[in-house]
Amino acid sequence: MGSRGRKQRPTWCPQPLTPLIEGPDPEMQDEGNKKESSWELIRVWFKTQKGFNNNSFSYYTNINNNNNNTTTTLPAKMQDLRLLLGVLACPLAPIPLLHDPTHDHNINHHIKDIPIETSSAHYIIQQYLAATGCLKQTKRTNNMYATGVVKMIGCETEISSGKNVKSLGTRSGESGCFVLWQMLPGKWSLELVVGGGNTVLAGSDGKTVWRHTPWLGAHAAKGPTRPLRRIIQGLDPKSTANLFSKAQCLGEKRIGVDECFVLKVSADKAAIMERSEGPAEVIRHVLYGYFCQKSGLLIYLEDSHLTRVQTPEDVSVYWETTIGSSIGDYRDVDGVSIAHEGRSIATVFRFGEMSMDYSRTRMEEVWRIDDVQFNVPGLSEDAFIPPADIYDNNPHLH
């Protein structure tokens, strides 16, 4: 299939760099040296919701500018969009990719030594590879290109004070598009644009995962190098199978009208510790895949990420982000069944250990793939080089 709408890769400008953490920024820096971390946006957003006026269509909040100490006013619609993009634009899977499951024959040896949950999961993955046509492929896939459209909808928030619960927000939506490139092993690049020019860029050179937004600059992800969640949402069946190659089978569950096998993978303790930073401690990151018993295809993906933050008052606050994705419209592309549409619903839940107060925000993304092409001629590793300031500010990444 021919590709459409390819864009020239952007030129990079120096940006202020702060670490990318997958949880809320645990503490505010000194007023004269304050920087907005990737999840500080979520904390500010929740704070503004508590003071929201239900009779006002648009509200404003003061935030600190990254590049100077001046205070700017951010409209509600833009802050909602930033939250949407921060959660749904380029989330990562919980674990790295391991190996090519189409060449894994170890399961046939010493079968008695393998737990039934593991051997069952391996069988389900082999059925998935067969259902998507990957086992029949004779030509090796080295890279992939995909374009698609998205509509992001949100944000609806429920806030409880322990006695009263109020709902805020409207289901406003922003449409956009994305371009995704992938090169094996472990290299990918994403450009996503919504709302008339709000651009999120992200990528991996196989060693460093990074993200760039206009309001945060460029950030390097902590912890092991992990794949982009969009890739394993039925877009690349081999990567999906790779991710679940060491999964456990939890049993069966119905999704809609389909009976499914449920597979689980989760980040191990060492990876969790590597992703924690300061008072922000990652507790868990788990991913569940639901594989249809009738078709063998992946039709639902759900992951849960929990972070605990210890405040200066020695109070623990928890942030849980859950994303559930329905996956469908599988079509043949060069002999491989690729999912061409889906819907993701994300929930950001903030709660404490003792307090009855909580905040829950729901947001949504609907996506469709327009074009997919494998083995694009001329694609080189140079296309996946991270922005220069990632290395300038993190010498240990060299």
Highest mean pLDDT among 20-34, 166-180, 289-303, 382-396: 289-303
pLDDT in tens, 344-356: 999 999 998 777 7
Residue 55 pLDDT level (bands cut at 50, 70, 90): very low
- Supply φ then ψ for residue 224, to 5 degrees: -65, 155
Instruction: Specify the range with the lowest mean pLDDT, choosing from 10-19, 108-117, 187-196, 365-374.
Output: 10-19
Structural tokens at position 360: 């829950």
Structural tokens at position 213: 């937004």
Residue 154 pLDDT level (bands cut at 50, 70, 90): confident
Instruction: Specify the range with the lowest mean pLDDT, choosing from 35-39, 142-146, 262-266.
Output: 35-39
Residue 13 pLDDT level (bands cut at 50, 70, 90): very low
State the pLDDT at residue 291. 98
State the pLDDT at residue 105. 40
- Average confidence (pLDDT) over 238-253: 95
Structural tokens at position 267: 């980040």
Confidence check: pLDDT of 311 > 60 = yes
Highest mean pLDDT among 11-25, 43-57, 89-103, 326-340: 326-340
- Rounded to two decimals, the pTM is 0.80
The bridge status of strand 280-292 relative to strand 258-266 is antiparallel
- Average confidence (pLDDT) over 141-152: 95
How many Å apart are CA 90 and CA 92, to the nearest integer?
7
